[in-house]
Structure 1
Amino acid sequence: MLLVKAARDARVKAYAPYSQFKVGAAIRAASGAIYQGVNVENVAYPEGTCAEAGAIAAMVMGGETEIAEVAVIADSPSPVPPCGGCRQKLAEFAGKDVKVTLATLQGEVMETTVGALLPGAFGTGHMVSPSEDGM
């Protein structure tokens, strides 16, 4: 539960003056390093940045591109899954079997995987190179 604690610690720094819905995320990279992120809103609500995206950006800035595990926490009645965009972002850097722990501040936990969150994820295998499309 070290990763959930890291997500919880990050969450308090979230910037959510419009929704009041603070979210924290933590990613353990393949090296074992932990990267944290928070949601950041702005006055052009709902434009902003999700906690998962912030943690991914921190990981990439740290020179890493492989996610080994993810945790997300929010103050909600039940564990909150990543939005659709963040599911795709996680799939970019994590295998489908990578564990994702979703938690609430009250201690409820749900464990899943990146693949279960985004079955049929769009990936590089779906892209056609210019030489293959007849152009």
Structure 2
Amino acid sequence: MTPEALIAEARALAGAFPLSGFKHNVAANVGCALVTDSGALHTGVDLVLACGIGFCAEHSAIASMLKTRETRVDLIVAVSDRGTVLPPCGRCRELLAQVDVQNVANTRILVSETEIKTLCDLLPDHWVDR
């Protein structure tokens, strides 16, 4: 899958909507799409809850991937509901590294519409290398 097609997949998911019960609970501020090393596509959205137990869109997409017993991510992107490509936060970077150590050297991450970095670029001197 091309980077442009992956961005389009993530953009299609991003579109915040309120959840009932609490006025600040929202889903899908961010959409995420990833392709595994086998070529499978997985997607997810974030969840923002007033009590702080939400999760990032990358976590949701990675959980979808894990359901199929895959752990290696080839390419991943997160996109805000404004359409902006977002680099992963530190927690998401660490999650990618911990689901498969091979992701540190091999996972490509879209950090903008035109720039791709490896997870290793975003986690230099990662502790799993030691």
Same fold, TM exceeding 0.5?
A: yes
In the TM superposition, residue 111 of structure 1 has moved relative to its aligned partner by 2.2
For 1:112, give the aligned amino acid.
K
Any stretches of 5+ residues in structure 1 without a counterpart? 127-135
- 1:39-97 alpha-carbon deviations (Å, 9 max, x no partner): 1122203x311011111100001221111111111146964221111110112331324
More helix by share: 2
CA distance in 2, matches of 1:76, 1:41: 16
CA distance in 1, matches of 2:105, 2:96: 9
Root mean square deviation, CA, Å: 2.7
CA distance in 2, matches of 1:77, 1:11: 8
Q: How does 1:1-135 map to 2 (within 5 A)?
A: 1-12=4-15, 18=24, 22-45=29-52, 47-75=53-81, 79-92=85-98, 93=100, 94-103=103-112, 108-123=113-128, 126=130
Question: Could you tell me whether the CA contact under 8 Å between 1:14 and 1:39 is conserved in 2?
Answer: no
Which structure: larger Rg?
1
Identity %: 29
Closer/same/farther in 2, CA of residues 9 and 115 from structure 1, 3 Å limit:
same
For 1:8, give the aligned amino acid.
R
For 1:116, give the aligned amino acid.
D
* TM-score, normalised by the number of residues in structure 2: 0.76
In the TM superposition, residue 30 of structure 1 has moved relative to its aligned partner by 1.3
